[in-house]
Amino acid sequence: MRVTTLGDLVLDVIVRLDDALVPGDDRPATTRAGAGGQAANVAAWVVESGGGARFVGKRGADAAGELVAGELSGRGVEVCGPVDGRTGVIVSIASMGERTMASDRGSAPELTSGELEPAWFDCEVLHLSGYSLQREPIASASARAAELAREHGTRVSVDLSTWTGIDDAFRARVRALEPDLVFAGERERDVFGALDTSWLVKRGSEGVVVEGRAFAAVETDVVDTTGAGDAFAAGYLVGGIELGLEAAARCCARLGAMP
């Protein structure tokens, strides 16, 4: 299975707290910094799950960009796309099995259609991060990527990513893509509304619902839920429900979103 993902490659900073933050004071934490971003995470987990992966996106022409591109390449992912501007940073605070994020996407949203190479989309599945459909010019680049992919008979999947980013423009862009698969959390699906496609609804510790059928999560000791949905999407694209749930469980059992 060959999967191309399109979206963000950023510096992911994970902060794990054993106790709640105290305003104006200090708290001990465990931290991790490395490559991240939804599309990058999915690509890395595709390789971990036994598939081949290519990441497409704009990354910064700075030290952080070199670091994250090198890490993703070292995980067996082909990294494609222009190098310009600055690398984004996502800070994820993990506490009590939950996570809260603050996101700076850097130059990633500035990817344009003219910066795409048709050969990048010769694959079996094109997976689009919902973040890539929230603003221009990357939204138009995503639409063009889907056109190029479908010239090869490729399936297109979309992850809605975050319910707070869903508005009428976002809905119109997703519907225009006519995706074959849509990954979403329960709230994301409820906020998005109707769409004639195959839905894969992620429910955290309660597992997933695929086309109306519920599947239980694989039991694990939860350390950090960051990236679990990305791991599930990758595993599912490569090998179906069981592999997806196994990947999600493995992701939850460690700190950070990468394998």
Give the pLDDT score at 98.
65
Q: Is residue 52 part of a domain?
A: yes
Q: Is residue 28 part of a domain?
A: no
Q: Is residue 204 part of a domain?
A: yes
**24 has pLDDT over 60:** yes
Complete DSSP assignment for the chain: -EEEEES--EEEEEEEESS---TTS---EEEEEEEE-HHHHHHHHHHHTT-EEEEE--B-SSHHHHHHHHHHHHTTPEEES-B-S-EEEEEEEEETTEEEEEEEEETGGG--GGG--GGGG-SSEEEEEGGGGSSTTHHHHHHHHHHHHHTTT-EEEEE---GGG--HHHHHHHHHH--SEEEEEHHHHHHH---SSEEEEE-GGG-EEETTEEEPPPP---S--TTHHHHHHHHHHHH-HHHHHHHHHHHHTSSSS--
**209 has pLDDT over 70:** yes
Give the pLDDT score at 244.
97
**26 has pLDDT over 90:** no
Q: Is residue 151 part of a domain?
A: yes
Mean pLDDT value across residues 12-24:
83
CB atoms within 10 A of CB 122: 14
Whole-number percent of the chain with pLDDT over 70: 98
- The pTM assigned to this predicted structure is 0.93
Q: Is residue 123 part of a domain?
A: yes
Residue 233: band (very low, low, confident or very high) from pLDDT cuts 50, 70, 90: very high
Give the pLDDT score at 100.
80
Give the pLDDT score at 73.
97
**pLDDT tens figures, 169-204:** 999 999 999 999 999 999 999 999 999 999 999 998
Q: Is residue 221 part of a domain?
A: yes
Mean pLDDT value across residues 95-121:
88
What average pLDDT is seen over the chain?
93
Determine the structural domain holding residue 248 and report its residue range.
2-8+36-88+106-252
> What CATH number should be reported for the domain holding residue 79?
3.40.1190.20
Looking at the structure of the chain, the number of domains it has is 1
Q: Is residue 70 part of a domain?
A: yes
Residue 118: band (very low, low, confident or very high) from pLDDT cuts 50, 70, 90: very high
Give the distance, in angstroms, between the CA of residue 143 and the centroid of all CA atoms in the same chain: 17
Give the pLDDT score at 96.
60
Give the pLDDT score at 97.
57
Q: Is residue 14 part of a domain?
A: no
